A and B are shown apart, each in its own frame.
Chain A
């Protein structure tokens, strides 16, 4: 991956508020170097990143996403277990009423599995060739806008 693009002022989701991203590594995947690199790239691009670390269950991810009120959930997975895991994660998010989040995935996910993940509600899958700039730009464009009432 190339180095992060120049940081630009804060994005769309609410004027003057940084986008909050949860980066989680679900399941038994023990390789966190890629996720950590992504976490730092996101920080350098002006995002606030809650990194949950390794071995996250769907419940742990959803609970953190709720309390941290993140705009984006980024799932990093290199173990190949995305197909069994992602439906459970999406269910756990929905069970908590978190159906307006942007969910994206990164790692070694084969192209032929992408349509199935998208059907589950994963908005984008960033494979190994993705540049930081591409991922950052996608998040900025697609992070949900909010209209909160009192």
Chain B
């Protein structure tokens, strides 16, 4: 049996191997995602984002427990930044989830951002698709985000949970960073710390202004992920958001936006790949870049020439 068939037969090793291939943009991985695509688009994808130190991994671990108790199989993708210098990474989220080893209703995969902006990319999307096809639902995607970086997660996930903690000057920062726009659920974690109630109140006041296009009002949940306090409430809110999306047009419109995002990302990726891998194009690209650097030509002209070389007519 090939890897795809084994994945569909619930073979975790096949899933893990395919995830590696997808992450490496290997043709086998890409072909697998294409073959499995009809079986994706089913799972509820939930993004968990927030600054470092907010306790996201512990929160995700607590959520996994609650989801398992409700009888569902859950996938987790935990993304950490790669070092821009060495290309390596410390993937330190799984450490909070190690006791899940005996439970094959949970699949946890750590991924390094590998230089991709916002940490998310075709590779992360691809791994989410693999988990989806393998029947994990929901799929939690944990990323480091502090506003701008969190934008990617909002286009991948149906529901975005933004985690804050008291004491980081959060109330004001949350509003400045546009977190209220990307987050449907705002969590104040470490809610047993001083200042938590105030942060929660502040967020609730800001969130109170009107619902979103789907009729959802941003909710604020206080949690203590180390004790489990507030976790079942958080899960209720996550599940409630899914219901709101499915009752109206929210689910369909998200699928459409996510499809658009994925097709365009792949287009950009393929274009860059073709131009750098094909020797003739690579030479043209390299030469063009040199000429731009020397101010003998400009980027728009170089790009028009490269596109023409690929048979793309000028607009």
Contact surface of A with B, Cβ cutoff 8 Å: 7, 9-10, 14, 16-18, 20, 39-40, 42-53, 56-57, 59-60, 62-64, 66-69, 96-98, 148-150
Contact = CB atoms under 8 A, between A and B. Distances in A.
B102 A59 contact: yes
B13 A66 contact: yes
A135 to B, nearest CB: 14
Interface stretch (B88-96, B221-229, B242-250, B285-293): B88-96
Contacts of A48: 82, 88-89, 91, 112
B24 A150 contact: no
A148 to B, nearest CB: 6
B101 A51 contact: no
A56 B98 contact: yes
B87 interface: yes
Contact of B3 (A43, A53, A148): A148
A150 B31 contact: yes
Contact of A51 (B87, B95, B99, B102): B95
B174 to A, nearest CB: 30
A10 B89 CA distance: 13
Contacts of B23: 17
Q: Which interface class (under 10, 10 to 19, 20 to 34, 35 or more) fits B?
A: 35 or more
A18 B4 contact: no
Contacts of A7: 85-88
A61 to B, nearest CB: 9
B2 to A, nearest CB: 5
B179 interface: no
B201 interface: no
Contacts of A14: 24, 26
Contact of A148 (B21, B83, B98): B21
Interface of B: 2-4, 12-13, 16-17, 19-21, 23-24, 26, 28, 31-32, 82-83, 85-92, 94-95, 98-99, 101-102, 107-110, 112, 114
B88 A68 contact: no
9 contacts: A7-B85, A18-B87, A43-B88, A44-B83, A44-B86, A47-B88, A48-B82, A149-B28, A150-B32
Given A66-B13, A67-B109, A148 B87 contact: no
Contact of B2 (A10, A44, A57, A150): A150
Nearest to B107: A67
B15 to A, nearest CB: 8
A31 B83 CA distance: 26
Contact of A49 (B2, B87, B88, B98): B88
Nearest to B16: A69
Nearest to B87: A46
Contacts of A68: 16, 91, 94, 109-110
